[in-house]
Structure 1
Amino acid sequence: MTAPTSAPAGKGIAPTIASLFPGGLPLWLKAYDGSVAGDQSRPYGVELVSERGLSYIMTAPGDLGLARAYVAGDLVLHGAHPGDPYEAFSLLKDHTDFGIPGPLELIGVLRSLGLSHLIPPPPPPQEHLPAWRHRLEGLRALGKWGRHSQERDADAIQHHYDVSNAFYEHVLGPSMTYTCAVFPTEDATLEEAQDHKYDLVCRKLDLQPGQRLLDIGCGWGGMVRHAAKHYGVQVLGVTLSREQATWAQEEIKRQGLDDLAEVRHSDYREVEEGDFDAVSSIGLTEHIGVDNYPAYFGFMRDKLKPRGRILNHCITRHDNVDRRTGAFIDRYVFPDGELAGSGTIVRAVEDAGLEVQHHENFRVHYAKTLAGWCRNLADNWDACVAETDEGTARVWGLYMAGSRIAFERNEIQLHHVLATKTDDGDSGYPLRHEF
């Protein structure tokens, strides 16, 4: 789309909003009153098309208000595809927090924008505000709906993963793998990189025919099928998403792997079997909660044979400072998600009585993975919207582009931690890594 026509400088909604951002907005802004702010020769801009959008921005300053307006269609992005808004959001990143105006300036802002816009509209339907947020305090005493209880974790997982299997097929591609790929070369395809990731995990776990593997948080069963098909391993995968489990079991049958592979719709904490040769966790730790790390890694330890191995693959912070996830991610993407630094992960693994053998960072690989998913979303935009709705599709474009930027800037990382259940000093591990 072309840039909007000019309006009187310094007057109206757009200049007032732009004045709230420290350093100014790095793209142009047009508002429904015809006002414009910013350099209109820039290739990217946003247009505030309704009063509701202004109310979203005023009642939830920062990324949450902007996200609400964008998801609802009240804030329109120009110059970039909503499925892959990476270039535009690269400019906007770090410019979404309002400055704190002085009292007199604040009065002027409120008069200019209108006090009526301080009444918050209902959030878009894509925002995760389940009943437990309202009744949590009453039920906390009963122990049912506390943070990361089985009921609350199931609710959070279903919000994110039970969107539509067809939607995920369009975005993720044939591998149906929603975790960081590992690119063997710069020009490897996304599918090649996902296959390489699964094979690397199998080699790190030193899987051998006839062994037993437990894959917790198995998603659509990519690791389950790869280990069974290529390594002859008996594999049990568990996921809290019913949609994932149904798809995975159908694919296992289609590939004729029924004798080796199984995916259950289950909380990993409900797995009764034990004596596994290896346990893999690929993309589950983000949903566990830092306070639950001792129980989580203790569960893995207890499921292993002596000298067995675990491989933990998860998103991490670039440091070990304790902080909460941003409001947009918590409300729209991963409710109750928590990240920690890799040092925190390693310490928790060691404190559980496991011996860490290898620790590796795949940060740049996740940026490349997200770029591939955004391309898929943009290329299949109409089909993705048809499967869900336009607001949900916008959420995905926004979150994946923003996550790509965060990985590129080393704000978040992705780590593998490989450990053994060492028994009386015998880890079963070779003198040097063999993977």
Structure 2
Amino acid sequence: MTTKASIAEAVETMLAAGMPVRFTAYDGSATGPEDSGITLDLRTQRGLSYLMTAPGDLGMARAYVSGDLEIGGVHPGDPYRALLLLQDKLRFRRPSAGEAVAVLRSLGLSNLRPPAPPAEERVPRWRRTLDGLRHSLGRDATAISHHYDVSNRFYELVLGPSMTYTCAVYPDADATLEEAQREKYDLVCRKLDLKPGDRLLDVGCGWGGMVRHAAKEYGVKALGVTLSLQQASWAKEAIDRDGLGDLAEVRHSDYRDVAESGFDAVSSIGLTEHIGVRNYPAYFSFLRDRLRPQGRLLNHCITRSHNRKQETGEFIDRYVFPDGELTGSGRIITAVQDTGLEVMHEENFRRHYALTLAGWCQNLVDRWDECVAEVGEGTARVWGLYMAGSRVGFERNQIQLHHVLATKTDEQGDDGFPLRPTW
């Protein structure tokens, strides 16, 4: 490669089978099929510096979120088709030392000076110690606030009327997102065998969807807790609006601050991802101690397709779920069993989450201008990229979503379950 090689030529050097989409750069160079329905346009030198100083998903995300890299042929609220094509067709190779040096020289060594990251990016894990140790009370509160205290109005636009930010359960392929979210809450209630007068604890309750459904449809006295102040405020208003104040309560609190016990049921819907694998024993022990004998626990969380240790990718960790951790359903079941709870049922809703994410992305596309006006284009791009990428992950069985249903079996071996499931 000569010292005058173009950006497109440098990119081609790094690829094993050529560029599968049309790639253009600000220096006027281009590569890839001209008739591609998907295009990548590197618009600025800053974007090039992002790609050179943070190879992989982090550099691409920085360039895209900042607007320095544009993806053509798809809406920024749902770049699903582009991500699918790139995952299938884009293959990098390891260049020789000589090739690597030549590429760097041709692109300009000055581009190895990292630009400031976009404002939407959180600091890396090692710099978060100022907020405390990983999964300490203070650091968890900061991480939750980063993701959930974006804007209640933004979440209303993306999530829809249910204000539910967890996997829906589709009773059939033609069900709407709202119908599927209602079915999810109702399925959890049925699995927990909730009855009028029962007491429910919902940890990580979000905007109170589970609490309100259990109170309204099952006559349950429900307590929800969330670390997000904006979620708690929205939930309290919704409870008052629905006239459920005598049955439902949402607190702005860490679940570890719940002092009450003797609950008939505990639901944890989308919280375990934030707990940290090493904290599972303490987490499930705490939930066990909140239950009465024969009380039930339903744990709903994103999982991996394996039980090996794997850190969350840099894009997800810095832009979406700081300090989030995932593991396989086997590890979760083991942790639940080791606390003395009896696991009665397990179910995988992987494909349902892909459908849920498609629904959220469509909402983002349909209400793009309102979302951008509410939170800025950078944040809207983050959510489109993360939700579309997660959809690919669920479809390809890279990540899953599991329900684990357990009971606090008493000393006589009574579990409180019928011989066959009733839900």
Task: Give the structure-1-normalised TM-score.
Answer: 0.94
How far does residue 47 in structure 1 lie from its aligned partner after superposition?
Answer: 0.4
Aligned length: 419
Match of 2:160 in 1: 173
Q: Look up the SS of the partner of 1:310 in the other structure.
A: strand
- Letter of the aligned partner of 1:153 in structure 2? D
How far does residue 98 in structure 1 lie from its aligned partner after superposition?
Answer: 4.8
**Separation of aligned partners in 2, 1:11 and 1:119:** 20
Q: Is the 8 A contact 1:239 1:245 kept in 2?
A: yes
1:189 and 2:183 aligned: no
1:427 and 2:412 aligned: no
Q: 1:18 to 1:241 in 2, by over 3 A?
A: farther
Match of 2:194 in 1: 207
How far does residue 24 in structure 1 lie from its aligned partner after superposition?
Answer: 3.0
Match of 1:308 in 2: 295
Of 334, 337, 353, 1:350 maps to 337
- Letter of the aligned partner of 1:216 in structure 2? V
Match of 1:63 in 2: 57
**Separation of aligned partners in 1, 2:126 and 2:241:** 41
**Separation of aligned partners in 1, 2:323 and 2:214:** 30
Q: Is the 8 A contact 2:20 2:90 kept in 1?
A: no
Match of 1:99 in 2: 93
Consecutive unaligned residues of structure 1, counting only runs of 5 or more, are 1-9
Match of 1:5 in 2: none
- Letter of the aligned partner of 1:322 in structure 2? K
1:386 and 2:373 aligned: yes
Q: Look up the SS of the partner of 1:30 in the other structure.
A: strand
- Letter of the aligned partner of 2:252 in structure 1? H
1:47 and 2:41 aligned: yes
Q: Is the 8 A contact 1:63 1:97 kept in 2?
A: no
How far does residue 25 in structure 1 lie from its aligned partner after superposition?
Answer: 2.8
Match of 2:29 in 1: 35
How well do the aligned residues superpose, as a CA RMSD in angstroms?
1.4
1:152 and 2:139 aligned: yes
1:134 and 2:127 aligned: yes
How far does residue 333 in structure 1 lie from its aligned partner after superposition?
Answer: 0.4
Q: Look up the SS of the partner of 1:324 in the other structure.
A: coil
- Letter of the aligned partner of 1:429 in structure 2? F
Q: Is the 8 A contact 1:22 1:95 kept in 2?
A: no
Q: Is the 8 A contact 1:358 1:418 kept in 2?
A: yes
How far does residue 173 in structure 1 lie from its aligned partner after superposition?
Answer: 0.3
**Separation of aligned partners in 1, 2:305 and 2:128:** 35
How far does residue 175 in structure 1 lie from its aligned partner after superposition?
Answer: 0.2
How far does residue 97 in structure 1 lie from its aligned partner after superposition?
Answer: 7.5
1:324 and 2:317 aligned: no
**Separation of aligned partners in 1, 2:228 and 2:73:** 36
How far does residue 147 in structure 1 lie from its aligned partner after superposition?
Answer: 0.6
Q: 1:251 to 1:302 in 2, by over 3 A?
A: same
Task: Give the structure-2-normalised TM-score.
Answer: 0.97
Q: 1:297 to 1:95 in 2, by over 3 A?
A: farther
- Percent identical: 68
1:81 and 2:97 aligned: no
How far does residue 101 in structure 1 lie from its aligned partner after superposition?
Answer: 1.5
Q: Is the 8 A contact 2:215 2:248 kept in 1?
A: yes
1:341 and 2:341 aligned: no
Match of 2:107 in 1: 113
Of 17, 21, 38, 2:15 maps to 21
Match of 1:3 in 2: none
Q: 1:97 to 1:344 in 2, by over 3 A?
A: farther
Q: Is the 8 A contact 1:313 1:414 kept in 2?
A: yes
**Separation of aligned partners in 2, 1:184 and 1:101:** 50
**Separation of aligned partners in 2, 1:115 and 1:363:** 44
Match of 2:352 in 1: 365
How far does residue 95 in structure 1 lie from its aligned partner after superposition?
Answer: 6.4
**Separation of aligned partners in 1, 2:121 and 2:324:** 15
- Letter of the aligned partner of 1:33 in structure 2? D
